[in-house]
Amino acid sequence: MKQDMIVILDLGSTENTVIAREIRDLGVYSEIHPHDITVDELKALNNVKGIILNGGENRVVDGVAVDVNPAIYECGYPVIAIDHPTAKCDTNLDKLPDIEFLKSFLFDTCKAEANWNMKNFIEDQVELIRKQVGDKKVLLALSGGVDSSVVAALLLKAIGDQLVCVHVNHGLMRKNESENVVEVFRNQLNANLIYVDATDRFLDKLAGVADPEQKRKIIGAEFIRVFEEEARKLEGIDFLGQGTIYPDIIESGTKTAKVVKSHHNVGGLPEDLQFALVEPLLQLFKDEVRACGVELGLPAEMVYRQPFPGPGLGVRCLGAITRDRLEALRESDAILREEFAKAGLDKKVWQYFTVVPDFKAVGVRNHERSMGYMVVIRAVNTIDAMTASIERLDYDFLEKVVARITEEVTSVSRVCYELTPKPVATIEFE
């Protein structure tokens, strides 16, 4: 890393990432480190220009007050403290610093250079990846999600055909999603891409399984199995690429933060298939990952796509999945996404999709009574997915979507718009 860095020491504040984000937005790279970092560890970080001690509600953990190593004050870096004033700091603040204060700390006090940008980041990572990988090969599970797509593009730039991507189509992808992954990575970017259509395998395993957690477990375990089988067919692979990003690490729990969300990645591979990891996005927040994807030339639909759960349409085809209901779900979802894009709503709404419950409702088609599926439309806005509000979709827009779905997806007899925020509902139905 050639870029200057401001280190935030984590004393239990939930605002650490907010400050790190603000500093990066000002063009200076910032990382969060544990409060008990040693002077040697601090010195081993590249280009540290200043330190922020950020206290917070978990300042006392299990009855014991946490504090920084006192030698930190003697390292020669400018230090400011927020929330636990101490006489040894250059400045003590009782609330989060405002932008002008931060600017003055970064550029006047610390003399940091505003050199954090995606061009520099990519240059650095290409060099680091080449150094780490040498002439060996890297295997990557390419789901087509933002993180794995950006890792693929970055690894491709760094090591070209030493990268082997595997895309597993579990049959629960949205319409044309797998086809797009193949088109972009194999046809446009010339990546080594192994495409595995495992639809039948997944759907057979899921047949008759109605419990949502059981469905998730089957999909996760089967994914590992298919990926493992592909990995065993390949020779000379030493590394596994992963799209782990900064919030995955921060949310996995720090010494002082009590938030814990398990790190999701291609874990669970058997012992004899252990690879060294290449995780070039480890330092990036989600919007930085997108900016990196744009800089690498990935298509906007790939970089700005809405969040899509790992188990895919499997958790939106409620209860035991059947092929015809899955088809109704995939087609209605494609129509909804098309209409959202036409109306410019795709840039405004955080997540929007359809769901098909496991029952039929009566309807009339061709002057005859007919039983059909019910499609539920969900469109929500959120910042962190912990709470979500409903998008107030226009009635004319909704009527257009209802008309298209019922006309084009003939197995559907009704369409509903769901209005429950999170809480009390969750974003997904299962």
Residues making contact with ligand XMP (CB under 6 A) = 216, 307, 309-311, 351, 385, 422, 426-428
Nearer to ligand XMP, 13 or 351 (CB): 351
Min dist CB 310 to ligand XMP, Å, is: 4
Shortest CB 256 distance to ligand XMP, Å: 25
Give the amino acid at 241.
Answer: G
Query: Is 284 in contact with 118 (CB distance < 8 Å)?
Result: no
Least distance between ligand XMP and beta carbon 427 (Å): 3
Count the residues in the chain: 430
Q: Which is nearer to ligand XMP, 201 or 216 (CB)?
A: 216
Q: Are 233 and 194 in contact (CB under 8 A)?
A: no
- Compute the least distance from the CB of residue 164 to ligand XMP, in Å: 24
Taking the complex as a whole, the smallest distance from the CB of residue 216 to ligand XMP amounts, in Å, to 5
Buried-state track 210-234, b at ≥16 Cβ within 10 A, e below 16: eebeebbebbeebbbbbbeebbeee
Q: Provide the 3-class DSSP secondary structure of residue 123.
A: helix
Residue number, 135 or 384, with CB nearest to ligand XMP: 384
Give the residue with the Cβ less far from ligand XMP, 122 or 206: 206
Which segments of 311-430 does DSSP mark as H helices, in order?
323-342, 395-408
Of the pair 134, 267, the CB lying nearest ligand XMP is at 267
Give the residue carrying structure tokens 């088809």.
327
Q: Rounded to the nearest whole angstrom, what is the least distance from the CB of residue 174 to ligand XMP in the complex? A: 12
Burial pattern 347-374, b for ≥16 Cβ within 10 A else e, equals eeebbbbbbbbeebeebeeeeeeeebbb
H helices of 296-394, in order, are 300-303, 323-342
**Which is closer to ligand XMP, CB of 93 or CB of 427?**
427
- Between CA 102 and CA 114 the distance in angstroms is 13
